Amino acid sequence: MTHLILPGIGGSGPEHWQTQWERELPGSIRIAPSSWDEPRLDDWLAAVDRASAVAGDDTVIVAHSMGCLVAGEWLARNPGRASAVLLVAPPDPDGERYPDAASEFARIGRHPLDVPALVVVSEDDPYGGVAYAAGLAEVWGARLVSVGAHGHLNADSALGGWPEGRQLLEGLVGVARAVG
């Protein structure tokens, strides 16, 4: 099983849990768009295509922030190309802090995912509220889990390797194996 890492804008730096997981999980692959800071939808979807071609179909997508929206759109366009998807802290395009640079991503990824999926939300995420995440989870056919108040669940949240998130990932992988 391969873990396909889809960071958000900025690419999840060295202190981000995604980067730590990438180092720890054998065979992890991170997408490589042309720009992390000036995202273009077609470029990011092509980056997922390239990484997925290497990863194969027995892949668990691990997405954070803008990566969640990209994952939702990519899975709608590529059914059966992943085993499961972990979607952490999806940003609300109607929120005050949604970045203007990501306007192309604002209305994508709103389709049933047809794979085991888990949306993880923080009670005080400045980029996306619990109600927004719950709505996405419903559209995606995903289970919703709140992990308390931890901001945007990023490096600023000081989660380190985020063991609670790893447990959620392991549970999701178990569900994917049971249905796969």
pLDDT in tens, 125-157: 999 999 999 999 999 999 999 999 999 999 999
Contacts of 101 (CB under 8 A, 6+ apart): 9, 37, 38, 39
Q: Are 96 and 56 within 8 A, CB to CB?
A: no
Task: Give the pLDDT of residue 11.
Answer: 96
Span 146-173, average pLDDT: 97
The count of domains in the chain is 1
Q: Which two tokens stand for residue 166?
A: 């790893």
In the predicted structure, residue 179 carries a pLDDT above the cut 90: no
- pLDDT at residue number 109: 82
Range of lowest pLDDT (20-34, 96-110, 127-141) = 96-110
pLDDT surpassing 90 at residue 107: no
Mean pLDDT of 85-100: 95
Is 180's pLDDT higher than 80? no
Distance separating alpha carbons of residues 66 and 161, to the nearest angstrom: 20
Give the confidence band of 173 by pLDDT, cuts at 50, 70, 90. very high
Work out whether strand 84-88 and strand 117-121 pair parallel, antiparallel, or are unpaired.
parallel
Mean pLDDT, all residues of the chain: 95
Q: Which pLDDT belongs to residue 57?
A: 80
CATH number, domain with residue 110: 3.40.50.1820
Mean pLDDT to the nearest integer, 37-53: 96
Structural domain span for residue 30: 2-179
